[in-house]
Copies of this chain bind each other. A is one copy, B any other.
Amino acid sequence: MKDLMEIIHNRKTIRRYQERPIEEDILRQVLDCAVQSPTAMNRQARKYTVLQDKMQMQRLEQAVQSALERNSYSFNNPAAFIFISVPRDLENGMADTSCAMQNMMLASTYLDLGSCWINQLKHCYDDPGVREILTDCHIPEDHVVYACLALGYPDQDPAPKEKSEWIEFL
């Protein structure tokens, strides 16, 4: 048992992971929390695709790097990489994806995993080189990818970031 408030305050982005793989039942708990997050009009139209093959991850990194014309690009060698994909015409696809992402990041903290939101796919999911890998990963042709999660047992413990935003009571 771990307190929600504590987890919300302790979550942070992790970008260095142990080589240790993640047990399947642990991954399923993370995914179950994603599924529990709300979807607009209760559509439940998201697909979660779990990639653990390091060669395939590297192929995807190369394709993203090339599509975005970067000099280098890396997911930082996570143990698992989760794609969330949604139908292209799903009106609230970005919101549905983000709620699932937030639940997965909290669940990861709960389960002593480290996670990092991967934002680059949303800029290049239709690039031919990227789409070819998405298809190899069984992501439907009519799906788009607004966000992915890199996941692994943490190999770093960065200080939490100070958070402060604008709040007004009327």
Contact = CB atoms under 8 A, between A and B. Distances in A.
A102 interface: yes
A87 to B, nearest CB: 11
A35 B170 contact: no
Number of identical monomers bound together in the oligomeric complex? 2
B38 A117 contact: yes
B50 A163 contact: no
Interface residues of A, number: 62
B107 A8 contact: yes
24 contacts: A2-B3, A2-B4, A5-B33, A8-B33, A8-B36, A8-B37, A9-B36, A11-B38, A35-B165, A42-B161, A46-B165, A46-B166, A50-B168, A50-B170, A52-B170, A53-B170, A56-B170, A94-B94, A94-B95, A95-B97, A95-B147, A98-B102, A102-B103, A138-B168
